[in-house]
Amino acid sequence: MKQTPLYEAHRQLGARMAPFGGWEMPIQYEGILQEHDNTRRRATVFDTCHMGEFALSGPTAQADLERLLTPSVSTIPAGRCRYGFLLRDDGGVLDDLTCYRLGADRFMLVVNAGTLERDAAWIRAHLSPPTIFTDRSAATAKLDVQGPLSRESMERAFQTALPDLPYFGFAEATLDGAPGLISRTGYTGEWGYELYFPADRAPDFWDKLLGDGAIKPAGLGARDTLRLEMGYPLYGHELTEERTPVGAARGRYVDLTKDFIGGEVVAREIEQGPAQVLAGLRLESRRAARANDPVLHHGRAVGKVTSGSLAPSLGVAVALAYVETPLAEEGTGLEVENHGARLNAVVTALPFYREGTARRKAAP
């Protein structure tokens, strides 16, 4: 297992560690429920140094990214970023990622840890000669500070004012003497920031953020319950090479007015309609469904669960599942078969949790 620059810091905090995407990562510190609540109500920091960062530049970088990615790249203004997919020729999802536009011909891609090496090889193989590609993952640290009190807590920790950023906006800035980038996207549904800076500064930044106790550490366990409450997909669960993004995204994050790898397959599936789509299921109890649990309709198998958990903010269990498209209408009653038990569920519009602060125009 690989280790982030903060591995020893996690051990000192008593974190429970486990493998994730080829890395040994903190799953929890004081407990998933407490860390989930800290993020929803106050502020937490997640070690996301395992994720990958690629830099692309040059006169052909934009055109290359247009062919590689599903969303429009040419319409991303400088200082903004956009979510989308990297596809195989047959439309299967190689990764979901975020594209940052740093300048007219400078871009950064943030990719998942488990697909990093494959992503790099695929992208390199589809670049024009003038495009410069640099894998900056090893040299770059990433921390996510999330929660409604994240701005004031960070400003107090670093003794400086943060830039006013729109949702999915960013700024290149110097923080605590280190050059880096501050963005406002997030994976929790709450107001928050992603900090990119030199990897050798990771312990300093971590200690500073945790300094006065206003920001608490949170692990991947809470990160998963938070993203599930928001209905966000996770690569390897909702997104895989075996599926196009149509069933998961229902046409979002895809620009069919341009040519991109896998685009013909995606356009055809959108036109015909996917056989299955990703649906949110709200269960009647706190008993959680698990990945690969069959989804039933009047006793007939109609799909499978991809992710399931108790939703701490709601007090009931929720799940994401691919189900036959006609049955994905809000209010449809279904059942989930879990270890021999039949759990009643109802199709629910996403996100499950709707009180998140992420899209507010000003800090809460």
What CATH number should be reported for the domain holding residue 169? 3.30.1360.120
Tell me, yes or no, whether 1 lies in a domain.
no
**Do 117 and 188 belong together in one domain?**
no
Q: Render pLDDT for 69-121 as a digit per residue (tens, 0 to 9).
A: 999 999 999 999 999 999 999 999 999 999 999 999 999 999 999 999 999 99
**For 9, which DSSP code?**
H
**Do 176 and 35 belong together in one domain?**
yes
CA 24 and chain centroid, separation? 18
Q: Where does the pLDDT of residue 186 fall: very low under 50, low under 70, confident under 90, or very high at 90 and above?
A: confident
**Do 151 and 77 belong together in one domain?**
no
Tell me, yes or no, whether 118 lies in a domain.
yes
What is the average pLDDT value for the chain, to the nearest integer? 97
Among residues 83, 107, 135, the one where a domain terminates is 135
Q: Render pLDDT for 301-329 as a digit per residue (tens, 0 to 9).
A: 999 999 999 999 999 999 999 999 999 99
Q: Render pLDDT for 19-54 as a digit per residue (tens, 0 to 9).
A: 998 999 999 999 999 999 999 999 999 999 999 999
174, pLDDT greater than 90: yes
Name the percent of the chain in helix, strand, coil, to the closest 5.
Answer: 25, 35, 40
**Do 161 and 142 belong together in one domain?**
yes
**Do 112 and 147 belong together in one domain?**
no
Tokens standing for residue 76? 């991303």
Note down the domain range covering 119: 53-135
DSSP 343-364: EEEEEEPSPS-----TT-SS--
Tell me, yes or no, whether 236 lies in a domain.
no
Instruction: Look at 363 and 161; give whichever has higher pLDDT.
Output: 161
Q: Render pLDDT for 90-101 as a digit per residue (tens, 0 to 9).
A: 999 999 999 999
The predicted structure's pLDDT at residue 61: 98
DSSP 108-148: EEEE-STTHHHHHHHHHHT--TT-EEEE-TTTEEEEEEEST
Question: How wide is the angle at C-alpha 49 spanned by C-alphas 55 and 236, nearest 5°?
Answer: 85
**Do 70 and 117 belong together in one domain?**
yes
The predicted structure's pLDDT at residue 363: 84
**Do 283 and 213 belong together in one domain?**
no
User: Hunting for tokens 């008593």 — which residue is that?
Assistant: 14
Tell me, yes or no, whether 172 lies in a domain.
yes
Among residues 88, 116, 135, the one where a domain terminates is 135
Among residues 98, 116, 135, the one where a domain terminates is 135
User: Hunting for tokens 């206003």 — which residue is that?
Assistant: 214
**Do 302 and 182 belong together in one domain?**
no
Tell me, yes or no, whether 250 lies in a domain.
no
Q: Render pLDDT for 137-150 as a digit per residue (tens, 0 to 9).
A: 999 999 999 999 99
Tokens standing for residue 19? 């493998």
Q: Where does the pLDDT of residue 245 fall: very low under 50, low under 70, confident under 90, or very high at 90 and above?
A: very high
**Do 19 and 119 belong together in one domain?**
no
Tell me, yes or no, whether 302 lies in a domain.
yes
**For 74, which DSSP code?**
T
Tell me, yes or no, whether 83 lies in a domain.
yes
The predicted structure's pLDDT at residue 183: 98
Mean pLDDT, residues 245-263 taken together: 97
pTM here is 0.97
Between CA 69 and CA 63 the distance in angstroms is 10
> Domain count of the chain?
3
Tell me, yes or no, whether 270 lies in a domain.
no
Contact between residue 90 and residue 262 where contact means Cβ atoms under 8 Å apart: yes
334, pLDDT greater than 90: yes
Query: Which of 359, 278, 288, 362 minimizes the C-alpha distance to 320?
Result: 278
Query: CA 136 → CA 2, 52, 54, 292, 331, distances in Å?
Result: 16, 7, 6, 35, 46
Contact between residue 199 and residue 2 where contact means Cβ atoms under 8 Å apart: no
CATH of the domain at 65: 3.30.70.1400
CATH of the domain at 325: 2.40.30.110
Query: Which of 165, 160, 151 minimizes the C-alpha distance to 79?
Result: 165
Q: Where does the pLDDT of residue 362 fall: very low under 50, low under 70, confident under 90, or very high at 90 and above?
A: confident
**Do 14 and 149 belong together in one domain?**
yes
Strand order in the sheet with 106-111: 81-87, 93-103, 106-111, 52-57, 132-135
The predicted structure's pLDDT at residue 145: 98
The predicted structure's pLDDT at residue 234: 97
Between CA 85 and CA 101 the distance in angstroms is 16
Tokens standing for residue 93? 């999802």
**Do 37 and 64 belong together in one domain?**
no
364, pLDDT greater than 90: no
Query: CA 147 → CA 44, 65, 216, distances in Å?
Result: 6, 32, 10
**Do 175 and 120 belong together in one domain?**
no
